[in-house]
Structure 1
Amino acid sequence: MATDLATGLRVLERDEWDQWYDNLFRAFGGEPGSAEERELDRSLTEFDRSMAVWDGDLCVATAGAFSFRMTVPGGALVPTAGVTMVSVAATHRRRGVLTAMMRRQLDDVRSWGEPLAALTASEPAIYGRFGYGAATFQMDAEIDTARVALSVPAGTDDVRLRYAAPAEVLDACEAVYARLVPGRPGMLARQPGWERVGLLDPESERDGASVLQCVVAETDGEVTGYARFRTKMGWGVSGHDGTVVLKDLAAVDPAAEAALWRFLFDIDLMTTLTLRRRPVDESWQYLVSDIRRCRPRLRDALYLRLVDVGAALAARSYQAPVDVVFEVEDAFCPWNTGRWRLSGDAKGASCERTSDAADLSLSVRELGAAYLGGVSLASLAAAGRVRELRQGALAEAALAFGSAVPPWLPHGF
């Protein structure tokens, strides 16, 4: 297989995309996507950042990397490789194919000058060995709206709600989203074409629910929020038992957000509101009368890797002054291995190579997990993943790395 890899791993050509994409879907269960999904995925594919492994004329593995900009603590947008479309044919597993693609990809990302790489993992156990750490989490919930009430803040009644065709208000909704991006680590600035993801409405995703609907919130004539959702009718022995399935919700102020939540809770004939991929600190949790009947569940979301430790740590700010030396282990990207002095505060930071004694020892995987402020270095130390070499250094770094707002990935890729 080593010979095959040497000649078979290469950048994707445009006329190879269909076979490449079909191989990807086969690896993920074989169910083809809709024509709408396929066309969107092709339009978003960055061919010079995508690769395939070929065994003769057969595509046996795929991988790609979107050119994203992601918000980091402090509000900066940092170039980030969005690792995507990763698959290996079942016929070619256990032959080093994935490792070869990850090796080539991280070398490429470094050459592109992008200090971060990020992905969502279908199997979380896979990517730790390549230096990716779970950096953001998301909230799912099944809210019993027949038995859970909302207490909304002042100003909610001043917000006007109206139905609108999702495509007709897309620009206004995107403007709302763009206003939110700098305020939460992990959010992605929308590149051209990515706004269409919010409109995707294949029948395969509906599970018997309606077509995608949209309601916008307006304050003094300005769109200040939106919700995209589907409704699914249901009837039981006691009567109506429908479900609202939320796809997306965003708002720029508490009143607009509360107005949208109240609307979703109160739709006629619906008794359940289903939420997926929501921020772990979202406001509805503090408006409801009974959190237990919301059945919240936490799960992992974004996995992050520091491709260039110095550039990545210098790109964000820190919520408290910090001056520590990290001893970093990175077997897969050895250019990161060694000691790095991080000095920074809320105004900015620098991170340079040093020969000074180390204060904390950890692998690049732990740095990735802690980077966006959603995972504490102190928690990782309690798990034995970070070692304190200078007394007090852990508390200093853990406080500095935190974020006032938990990180959140708004959509998959």
Structure 2
Amino acid sequence: MSPDLRTLAASDLPEWLRALNNAFLMPPTVTPEEVTARRPGIDLERTQGVFDEGRCVATFRSMPRELTAPGGELLAASAVTNVSVTATHRRRGLLTRMMSRDLTDAKERGEAVAILIAAEYPIYGRYGFGPATWINEWDVDVPRSGLDRRWAGPAEGRVDLMTPAEIRKIGPELHERVRRLTPGAIDRTDRWWDMDTGLLTFPSMPWKEPFYAVYRDASGQVDGLATYSITDHRWSNKFPRVTLETGKLIAASPAAELALWRYLFSVDWVTELKSGYRAPDDIMPLLLGDPRSAKVETNADFMWLRVLDTPRALEARTYTGAGSLVLDLHDAADLAGGRFRLETDADGRATCTPTRDDADLSFDIAELGTLYLGDESVLRLTALGRVTEERPGAATRADTLFRTPRRPWTPDGF
């Protein structure tokens, strides 16, 4: 009998979670308490499992999310997560079956794009996903950073440490403002805030309370939040060797961002600061007197994007000025391909309609995912042969239209 792919029932969840743990090399046993804690965060109608003789051997689920497009519009997205195939059942097409089903359902629900965080780079391009945002992680030698450790606070506004309960009250409104300013950001649910502040915990993942630093401007408005932990607290010959690890740092203004970074670098005893995952063009290294003290630990793809509704996605974002392009998009799954005319006005607003006109550029739908948020260069993809320039000069025009002043960033995993 061939393995059975099905939408999960509540009774399947313990076995499904066990399969997920197996695939991600975590202790396999799942306690009833763990199942109870995780069940409310899993939409069973959007969760798939493959079962072979009653044993779950592959997992897949998705969640509704909102993705910020360049220009600030919020786009309905299907966030794919918990994707696994047990090592005993690889190369049998199980992932392809689950992915095809989910992408078709997402398109029918009206979700314009699908997004995911890829554990491994080579897997998802064949399903039409392209890397849309990247991240950097820096490890800073604080004594060499060149910053004055005697910093006593911002010239305007203030930084205060707050409790998890206070963060649950003020954090969501701040994040709503920040995500609209951040192409590539996604929304945070109430459950996300409960998990982040320790109100919701899981037996398999003990929670340790971090520090929460909040920046308020001169009027008292909350404009920034940084979460951090001390992960190494050593003293040698009565000299500190303390590591501060940044969890999340979000800011609605440059003043807030600067103040929070300066605060983190001024914390007593800290000799090493880990930045956490940041946008590759984050300001932090250039804030330092000696940027060489910030060593890049990670530079990698982060969020991958797959367009499901080409006109909806392309009309949702803004562009750099007026222009016109005919794009011939190839989609093996027949979800978002075709030939489309993209027209943008002087304000960067766009219309996208099917056309039979000759194409200016042609490429696979995965390349549109890579280009969509403005992080990649059309000219670079053309040089690689991944975009075909059908009309001379079209790649340069497209590069000008699609690129954004700052690189997109996805602050949160999912």
Superposition deviation, residue 327 in structure 1: 1.4
Alignment of 1:105-184 (within 5 A): 105-150=102-147, 156-184=154-182
For residue 362 of structure 2, give the secondary structure of its aligned residue in structure 1.
strand
Q: Which residue pairs with 2:389 in the alignment?
A: 388
Q: Which moved more, 1:28-37 or 1:403-412?
A: 28-37
Using the alignment, how far apart are the partners of 1:58 and 1:13 within structure 2?
14
Q: Which residue pairs with 1:371 in the alignment?
A: 372
2:18/2:30 contact within 8 Å kept? no
Which letter maps to 2:404? S
Which letter maps to 1:339? R
Cα deviation digits, residues 164-209 of structure 1 (max 9, x gap): 1123222212221111111111111223322234325889889xx9
Tell me, yes or no, if structure 1 residue 270 matches structure 2 residue 270.
Answer: yes
Using the alignment, how far apart are the partners of 1:382 and 1:298 within structure 2?
22
Q: Which residue pairs with 1:57 in the alignment?
A: 54
Superposition deviation, residue 40 in structure 1: 5.8
Using the alignment, how far apart are the partners of 1:260 and 1:407 within structure 2?
21
2:17/2:30 contact within 8 Å kept? no
Using the alignment, how far apart are the partners of 1:379 and 1:65 within structure 2?
32
Which letter maps to 2:183? P
Using the alignment, how far apart are the partners of 2:246 and 2:27 within structure 1?
24
Which letter maps to 1:391? P
Structure-2 change in CA distance of 1:107 and 1:27 (3 Å): same
Superposition deviation, residue 45 in structure 1: 1.3
Superposition deviation, residue 149 in structure 1: 2.8
Which of residues 12, 25, 28 in structure 1 aligns to 2:24?
28
Structure-2 change in CA distance of 1:202 and 1:33 (3 Å): farther
For residue 398 of structure 1, give the secondary structure of its aligned residue in structure 2.
helix
Superposition deviation, residue 347 in structure 1: 4.6
Query: Normalising by structure 1, what TM-score?
Result: 0.91
Q: Which residue pairs with 1:11 in the alignment?
A: 7
Alignment of 1:198-347 (within 5 A): 198-199=196-197, 211-219=209-217, 220-231=219-230, 232-236=232-236, 239-296=239-296, 297-331=298-332, 333-345=333-345, 346-347=347-348
Structure-2 change in CA distance of 1:239 and 1:306 (3 Å): same
Name the count of aligned residue pairs: 405
Query: Normalising by structure 2, what TM-score?
Result: 0.91
Using the alignment, how far apart are the partners of 2:314 and 2:27 within structure 1?
41
Please list every run of 5 or more consecutive structure 2 residues that lacks an aligned counterpart in the other structure.
none
Using the alignment, how far apart are the partners of 2:272 and 2:335 within structure 1?
51
For residue 413 of structure 2, give the secondary structure of its aligned residue in structure 1.
coil
Superposition deviation, residue 271 in structure 1: 0.2
Using the alignment, how far apart are the partners of 2:289 and 2:202 within structure 1?
35
Using the alignment, how far apart are the partners of 2:336 and 2:277 within structure 1?
32
Which letter maps to 2:250? A
Using the alignment, how far apart are the partners of 1:225 and 1:282 within structure 2?
15
Structure-2 change in CA distance of 1:37 and 1:348 (3 Å): farther
Using the alignment, how far apart are the partners of 1:210 and 1:63 within structure 2?
29
Cα deviation digits, residues 310-366 of structure 1 (max 9, x gap): 2221222212222111111111x2243331111124452222221111110110111
Using the alignment, how far apart are the partners of 2:18 and 2:98 within structure 1?
18
Superposition deviation, residue 41 in structure 1: 4.2
Cα deviation digits, residues 276-305 of structure 1 (max 9, x gap): 211222222221111111102421100011
Structure-2 change in CA distance of 1:311 and 1:218 (3 Å): closer
Q: Which moved more, 1:283-292 or 1:270-279?
A: 283-292
Task: Give me the identity figure in percent.
Answer: 36
For residue 299 of structure 2, give the secondary structure of its aligned residue in structure 1.
strand
Which letter maps to 1:194? W
Using the alignment, how far apart are the partners of 2:118 and 2:234 within structure 1?
33
2:104/2:335 contact within 8 Å kept? no
Cα deviation digits, residues 15-70 of structure 1 (max 9, x gap): 22221112111100023699898666432212111111111311111101110010
Cα deviation digits, residues 71-96 of structure 1 (max 9, x gap): 00111100000001101111111111
